[in-house]
Structure 1
């Protein structure tokens, strides 16, 4: 305990507060740069974290008097960290007598771009704010700006930043405690010295309270807002859609409804009752590194109940062993197959009953890692349903690698095939509720009257739905009359708008009504490639050629990419996917060397015009954020440059036409009012000199400043000569200094 007291007393003498300011600034900057997620490389974040950490550590350890030494060490540490973590290839160093050293230096420097500039920029920002935030108002400004940036980015980008906000608030509270102790040291050094005699009693309550608040803030459950913010109200009043970003702790679509009756997007667990609306949840769900762009299939359901889907037929499944080929259920002898290799990495802690991938999966390569053993009861494969089922009693894998055997789209061949299933399954995939209204079957027959093959009839239904119904994640349910209890009937004839569940269920039911065996499938659309890839995958142009026709790459799949579609069985080709949802397009694999031409049969478009699909490119959003940041920085720089002129203008507004002596008296009265708020009252029987003398006894370090203010006041109040403008300015600055010290 004596050593602890000695250490605390020694550290106080070494200007400890400035050291902690450096640490707090570094922590807040580390959390603030999280807004660059998906824009910076992982190496950039490593360099940023280690640079700021090294800068804070050097400030904490080395004496503050050796400022030049500390700055040089921090600079050297930044350069070393950049060389250590930068993504670069080293060029062989030339010989000592060659003249290529200039070229080698330029090549090395180019290899450090942009990592070195990121590290040095953050170090400069750390220097700036460490020196600038020593006073309480500036401290509040820095913390408030950081929280504002993080909350705005969390609200209007897909990045989950509430944990970072909680850390910044926690650091801000700790900083406020340290600032209070620093002020106590400057105003009442003897009191602080007495407190440090019992450091455990002083700091333990603060640590406990802050820790409890921090833990509660990170672990409270997420709920939808009870009140809407002004921005949302304004956007909705204009009839515009407000995108909602929920994040890692988002509401699941089958758990809790929002105040408007809408759930959030995501992979559904219970599809017995479909309908309603949802808010987009743009939080990442998984990444998929693939050799071919595809939909990532989950489960299929075969029985339509009139309200939703379920599986009532028992299907045999087989045990899965890594690197052992899986059966596709047969029936694809006429199809051309393409292998698609995928590595799936989960971004969330959620568990699912299924492993996602292009369909059907033909082989599981590994689970979690190539060397990790897989339990024999971990997975089962259903060849009939094309489901790679996961044992929910076991932890869901963090990552896995699979190979899929995807059928290439041969429209000519499909037009020669019959949509016929083997007898044992045909009845199940053609079954419909007895209560299905006749007008659903009648509409399907009218739409497909011009079709000459089963494939053409399926495409006619798909085209009709895509072109005559509107995509809307929040359909107007007030359009439903209540006269029909069937989900598809209500969508086709009353609602006429909805999202994927409406479109896909309608196609599956209409296909069955005309004898096409179908099933309802749910999973995810491909997702998005990194933002530095401009344009849709596979449509980038390079020297007049298609740059990436297969769409190979690493896709980020979000909860907003959750989707449902339809599969129809064709003899000799197996289950073929169809995409009836307006605004979506299935990424079919085309035969090698051929250009995929998806010609759609003519369909009646008289009912409802196709909904326009609005897209906002990632590059425009990025440039908008960059432009806003530049404007904010420019405005801040202008305010700093013009601060003296603005202070002068404000002084004139406050003081009006008062003469110089009256201005000094006004400033003195302002100080008296402030002192009264701080408990330093001037009694009725006291003159100002007597009150100042009494105040100086408790504020000995400000005794000389109080004397200057008192002399100026008495000279202006009782003197015969007027003060100059320079004297008024000096007096005002002195009063402002005293107010700042007494806060």
Structure 2
């Protein structure tokens, strides 16, 4: 007796429809994940269907499917013969190592061979079950419904356009149901000879019905959606002009910026470094009017990262400070993008070790990829890596002398703007920089305007989105005037381009929150999703790409050596305007007061109106007293914060003292330097002298890249305590 059987034509037709439906499940992987190619999955699905059709004994199908899986994996991961001893040992050792990791759901630490093998085995089991239920048991309606639901969820909640897939699934599904029904009828009432064609002719009716229904639905007129954004509706943000509520975090898709987001305290990595600065991930150069994309890319493959060194990746001819950093992702989210402070010099080590680098020369982005893969792209999300980098110390004298003789390739790539860019954006940029003579002065003028002079509000929840035909920057600058780092950084880059100054959009993470120090005195920084950030890099001939910060709630990453001849010629330093913020948060770059939503209070039973009236009267009385005593209350709160703030964080304590002084005396004017502000204050001689001393220490520490001596720390701490306690409203 033969182990093979000859399927009927209707069975082949049903299997083809099922294959096409399973293909719709796999297609989104190419867009939503890092899967490089889908053909191995197609081979697996087709092989399972073929084996289940032609092998009548179920006990025999499993070893055949298992052999097919091993053949697919062997083709991708081994150069030896299929039945060689080395190949079998490699499979055995990989599974022995990675099965415990699979039980712990530590997928990224697993080797690519065992990870793909286990995934393919799971795929075999699932498809075998679907084949049994749909093709043998004729229970296909549930699978059609499940596939439609799967595609609808992807289309609604993820950046995947499933319109065509939903229509195709309807066609495949109803044809599969019709074929399965006819096959069941033919088995109950067998037909022979020419009568067999009667079954095939019976398929003509369902084909015509499905074709007509789909054609009318596709070509017919359609009303505008009553529920245009279900995500915003479900999150309570379905108002006009407000975008979908999303969580903050690092993302590669920046084509449509804006809209509200929620804070996310999920840990990304722990960094140990000798320099608190931004963690650079990627840059983008093409502004579309809605967001950013990348232009032409030039890749360099680096098989041995430890032996490769970068030279002047970003900065040219500038003084730099060496930085070492270790990034540990074992307790947080993982990315295939390599994050580094300043400009990268060397990747000393990576875990896992079987990792190579893919360097994008045009955007200075580094991606990590498995060195074991041969036929498909396999991004690596590392557990940790160690870096050597450097941050710039800009000479004010040198950067002031930088002219606008940019290389042609720089102008062609980094002066690009959409053809429909509103003219008033350029007019605003010209008005801001009308008194600036050099490119650097223009850059700082626009930076200061966005940070302190333009009445723009940092906001993350009540963030409108522009109309479909409105430019993102134009909408932020002139209409909404509120947003977060993407709004400020994009606006600065675009305005600089209107002035023919090359600029680009950069993203990564803010420094994070300091949680301690290691044995060598390096800072231990916790970087979370809420630290995801974007800023601007500007090109200066002879200097390279220099970072600038347009968002007022973040500290500028650029360090400037004020080496000009006199103090009067120094430019104002753009320090964030803290006059409206009680507690600056330099760790995560956000103000928690802007992120905490008010929660409504509900009661289980109603209160008598008399109690409500008494309560309202007490509230009004308390509000009146608080209003009358608001200065004393605010001053008490700020002094309390000063006492609790760690003494070793001198720049942060200085900013708190500055807030106290502005609360009691006059506020700083936009663009006013610290020295000018201290000089203008009406203070007694001893207090003025103390404040000038503290300001001088701040400038040395923050802008001069110098460490404070222990004696100076003690003196500064005593002066701050004395000044804060002597302030009276």
The TM tier, using the shorter chain, reads 0.3 to 0.5
Please tell me whether Structure 1 or Structure 2 has the larger radius of gyration of its CA atoms: 1
Q: TM-score, normalised by structure 1?
A: 0.41
Q: TM-score, normalised by structure 2?
A: 0.42
